[in-house]
Amino acid sequence: MQMNFCSHCGQPVRLVIPDGDNVQRHVCVACGTVHYQNPKIVAGCVPEYEGRILLCRRAIEPRLGYWTIPAGFMENGETTQDAARREAAEEALAEVEIGSLLAVVHVLHADQVHVMFRARLPAPQFGVGRESLEVMLCDEAGIPWDDMAFRSVSFALRRYLDDRRNRVEQHHFTTIDFRRQPPG
Ligand SMILES: [Zn+2]
């Protein structure tokens, strides 16, 4: 991500490789602070109620109008499970019980790691959160695969359904890199 000014002292930064490092960093010309940039973690879950999956249609960019599972950026001070539970509460007004780890998706072009869990929705109680246009419980045949918001979500959902059919709960890993392999 491009950075122009030091968030510590407000002076300009330059892109240089610091001594003892091997990656270009934004380094402040005045105070010398090195501004490291690292991937962000997105946490989400696949909530299930009696065989049906809770899906949300996004009310915000990116991918406004497309379907997703509840997921979003982690906050400081919470675990990935906390974050996944909070996102389900915010986007689908659903109180879910987080289960086992489902998928870790490395989204290299976005500098993100998506961590997806299985989850149980104890009762069919949910609503439309501020970041959603619509929320639905959907059986496998009704999943709008052509209108999914993100590749990582489709991956997690497909692995979820495969595992459910096979009565296993595996951990799945994959990498998505549109820098080399554009979408489409
Ligand atoms: Zn500075």
pLDDT in tens, 55-73: 999 999 999 999 999 999 9
Amino acid at the residue 65: G
Report the separation in Å between the CA atom of 27 and the middle of ligand 1, taken as the mean of its atom positions: 8
Mean pLDDT, residues 25-35 taken together: 96
Q: What's residue 96's pLDDT? A: 98
Report the separation in Å between the CA atom of 144 and the middle of ligand 1, taken as the mean of its atom positions: 48
Q: What's residue 2's pLDDT? A: 86
Token pair belonging to 97:
């019980």
How far is residue 27's CA from residue 79's CA, in Å, rounded to a whole number?
A: 30
pLDDT tens track for 8-26: 999 999 999 999 999 999 9
182, pLDDT greater than 80: no
140, pLDDT greater than 80: yes
User: Is residue 168 within 8 Å of 159, Cβ to Cβ?
Assistant: no
Report the separation in Å between the CA atom of 19 and the middle of ligand 1, taken as the mean of its atom positions: 17
Report the separation in Å between the CA atom of 15 and the middle of ligand 1, taken as the mean of its atom positions: 13
Report the separation in Å between the CA atom of 25 and the middle of ligand 1, taken as the mean of its atom positions: 13
Other CB atoms within 10 A of residue 76 CB = 4
Report the separation in Å between the CA atom of 35 and the middle of ligand 1, taken as the mean of its atom positions: 9
How far is residue 122's CA from residue 19's CA, in Å, rounded to a whole number?
A: 54
